[in-house]
Amino acid sequence: MFLKKIFKFPFVILMIAILVYMFGDLIPLAAKQIIYSISLTIKDIIVIVLPLLIFSFVLFGMANFDNESPKIILLLIGLVCISNFCGFWVSYIITAPILKNNLITISTIQAQEKLQPGFSTDFLHMFMIKNANMYALIAGITIGLACLVCKKNIRPLSEKLNHYANFILKKIILPLLPILISGFIIQMYHEKTLTAIAMEYGKLLIYISTLTYCYMFIMLFILSGFNIRSMISKFRNLLPGISIGFFSMSSAAAIPSTIDAVQKNIKNENIGRFVVPASANMHLLGDCFVLPVIALALMVSFGKEIPSISQYLTFSLMGVMAKFSAAGIPGGSAIILQPILAGVFGFDKEMCGAVLTIYMLFDSVATSANVFGHGIFAEFFNSVLSFIKRGKSK
């Protein structure tokens, strides 16, 4: 029992990180490149398999929601908008006064030496389809609704697909995650990414991380019934997915682990398997903090005024809508928000480029926060759905 507790995922990752940062200089460059390539390979395989998992889980969820499926989808979209909107505004309300006192500034950062892969993983890219996760999500919802309208019983099929998806998730993907993370820890050590960010953007990084995670812990505390032990337990379950998001900078790679954590937290397999993959691409709560703070800090640094409430309202509403078209690529959220920043706040090409550059440097924090947000949103969705059902039963 003791060893089982010791070798849980967060401890393993912590030990790997400590060992790499203590003895990283002793690892030959060729070995670093090979380990990094293995991590990239595992990540690519997860990306290839993920659409199949998403389709299976969403279809299973639709089959088990039965006649309530259309209402469930509308509820999901509405709650995604509310959560993203709240994130935008909390970041503005707290950050604007701080920036007016010039407590946060933006500087430049020097490029670091990149760690090159030891072998190419390009051959796996031929199996990748652009926006495959979104297609899988749409397909699962469409087939589920079509069968509901035609009164076709798809539960046996959905249960079989769900069985295979769970086998892939728990028996193949989850055991490979420590290996996945190891390569990215080595990459960060070699490129000195964390050191460079701490030196140049330390104050901004600490502020964004503190603001984002404090908000999420408060939300998780509320959703845990104001029970600290319950909140800590739920966060512990989400920590593997958050770690994956931080080190791999891929929220998609963290979806399997997040689904597993949500199932433990809310004791409802259907909610976890449906809500997490269905909302992962459009509920990006971490970005709702990271991007606005970077943008506002840049405005002050470039001599612009902090946007008014009406200006920011326009930005936040457009930003919420833009989340539904977020590209599943590094920096995708920053890219889709650039036209909004230019149109509402008057950002020029230089400022838009600076937003994207700084965001990419902070991608680890943003992605880990997005993953944390996925787990919190599943709790939020489950609480609202339970409240609605209790109201109907009275």
Share of the chain above pLDDT 70, in %: 82
Tell me how far CA of residue 220 lies from CA of 20, 120, 236, 296, 383, in angstroms.
Answer: 32, 41, 12, 27, 12
105 Cβ contact list (under 8 Å, min separation 6): 203, 204, 297, 300, 301
Mean pLDDT of the chain: 79
Residue 354 CA, distance from chain mean position: 22
Confidence category of residue 82, pLDDT binned at 50, 70, 90: very high
Amino acid at 281: N
| Structure-block tokens of residue 82 | 């509310």
pLDDT digits (tens, 9 = 90+) for 130-144: 667 667 767 877 887
Residue 248 has pLDDT above 50, yes or no: yes
Distance CA 284, CA 373 (A): 7
Highest mean pLDDT of the ranges 59-73, 109-123, 188-202, 240-254: 240-254
45: phi then psi, degrees, rounded to nearest 5: -65, -40
Share of the chain above pLDDT 90, in %: 19
Whole-number pLDDT of residue 221: 95
150 Cβ contact list (under 8 Å, min separation 6): none
Section 83-94 average pLDDT = 94
Q: Which residue is associated with the tokens 């010039």? A: 102
Question: Which one is predicted more confidently, 17 or 284?
Answer: 284
Distance CA 381, CA 392 (A): 17
Topology of domain 69-119+177-393 in CATH is: Proton glutamate symport protein (1.10.3860)
Question: Which one is predicted more confidently, 188 or 384?
Answer: 384
Whole-number pLDDT of residue 312: 93
From 183-187, 239-243, 311-315, the region with the lowest mean pLDDT: 183-187
In sequence order, which ranges of 102-227 are alpha helices (DSSP H)? 132-149, 155-167, 174-191, 193-223
pLDDT digits (tens, 9 = 90+) for 156-167: 777 788 778 778
Residue-wise burial string across 143-170, b where 16 or more C-beta atoms lie within 10 A, e elsewhere:
bbeebbeeeeebeebbeebbeebbebbe
- For the chain, the domains span 69-119+177-393
Confidence category of residue 301, pLDDT binned at 50, 70, 90: confident
Residue 119 has pLDDT above 60, yes or no: yes
Dihedral sign, Cα of residue 253, residue 256, residue 257, residue 263: positive
Confidence category of residue 109, pLDDT binned at 50, 70, 90: very low
Whole-number pLDDT of residue 309: 92
pLDDT digits (tens, 9 = 90+) for 257-283: 888 899 888 877 777 778 888 787 778
pLDDT digits (tens, 9 = 90+) for 45-62: 877 887 887 788 777 766
Whole-number pLDDT of residue 292: 92
Whole-number pLDDT of residue 197: 58
Whole-number pLDDT of residue 233: 92
- 323 within 8 A of 283, measured Cβ to Cβ: yes
| Structure-block tokens of residue 66 | 């039965």
Distance CA 343, CA 345 (A): 6
CA atoms within 13 A on the CB side of 178: 12
